[in-house]
């Protein structure tokens, strides 16, 4: 049991301990100049919760050389996520109603398989997906939520993809530690998505990653 709790805490750090809010993404001229070089922009957004406490969102952005419709198609093909999404070993859609998908994830962390179920809603087609934990299913985490935003890059040069996620494994994790470790992992997620999209949906992650 102790090993499992430690593993779930690590999962929370890996996915990101920020409070992901489903707001429309924006990027600055300076961020676009960075993204044009192939780098992923990772920023911390500070805000105040209704109870007055402070929270920090970790948000990552990347330029993908493909139109929003192509990026969207890859991000809605959940049954193939295990081919390119970091640490995901199995991913299956078990229900769909229009632009709402219910998906079961099997994610490997420290040699353990962690299972959770998400509802992912396309609130604006080709623009924004928000997701949250499905409480009607058995889950190995207490809570998770986040968003994907698909913006046009300047001059029709493709898509700026923005991603943020929060997960609560049921154990307290220092905010500073979560931010420190979550940034590079969220960066890797969008890098993998970019490789998948720009390859025409054929790129696969290295074995075991």
Q: How many CB atoms lie within 10 A of CB 116?
A: 21
Q: How many CB atoms lie within 10 A of CB 208?
A: 7
Given this model, what pLDDT does residue 21 score?
A: 45
> What are the per-10-residue average pLDDT scores of the chain (209 residues)?
39 42 69 95 71 70 97 98 96 98 92 94 96 96 92 91 83 53 82 98 96
Given this model, what pLDDT does residue 122 score?
A: 97
**Closest CA relative to residue 177, chosen from 44, 17, 47, 11:** 17
| CATH class (in words) of the domain with range 2-198 | alpha beta
Given this model, what pLDDT does residue 207 score?
A: 94
Answer for the pair 160, 147: CB distance below 8 angstroms, yes or no. Answer: no
Given this model, what pLDDT does residue 54 score?
A: 56
Given this model, what pLDDT does residue 182 score?
A: 64
What does the alpha-carbon distance between residue 85 and residue 194 come to, in Å, rounded to a whole number?
11
pLDDT in tens, 35-83: 999 999 998 766 555 666 556 678 999 999 999 999 999 999 999 999 9
What does the alpha-carbon distance between residue 183 and residue 56 come to, in Å, rounded to a whole number?
12
The domain spans of the chain are: 2-198
């Amino acid at each position: 049991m102790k090993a499992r709790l430690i593993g779930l805490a690590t999962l929370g750090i890996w996915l990101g301990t920020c409070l992901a809010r489903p707001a429309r993404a924006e990027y600055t001229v300076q961020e676009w100049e960075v993204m044009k070089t192939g780098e992923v922009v990772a920023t911390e957004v500070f805000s105040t919760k209704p109870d007055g406490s402070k929270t920090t969102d970790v948000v990552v952005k990347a330029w993908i050389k493909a139109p929003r419709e192509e990026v969207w198609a890859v991000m809605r093909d959940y049954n193939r996520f295990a081919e390119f999404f970091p640490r995901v070993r199995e991913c299956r859609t078990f229900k769909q109603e229009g632009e709402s998908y219910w998906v079961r994830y099997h994610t490997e962390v420290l040699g353990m398989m962690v299972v959770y179920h998400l509802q992912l809603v396309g609130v604006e087609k080709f623009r924004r997906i928000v997701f949250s934990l499905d409480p009607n299913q058995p889950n190995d985490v207490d809570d998770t939520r986040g968003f994907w935003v698909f913006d046009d890059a300047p001059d029709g040069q493709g898509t700026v993809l923005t991603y943020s996620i929060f997960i609560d494994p049921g154990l307290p994790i220092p905010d500073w530690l979560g931010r420190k470790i979550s940034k590079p992992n969220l960066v890797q997620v969008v890098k993998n998505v970019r490789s998948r999209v720009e390859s025409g949906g054929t790129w696969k992650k290295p074995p075991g990653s």
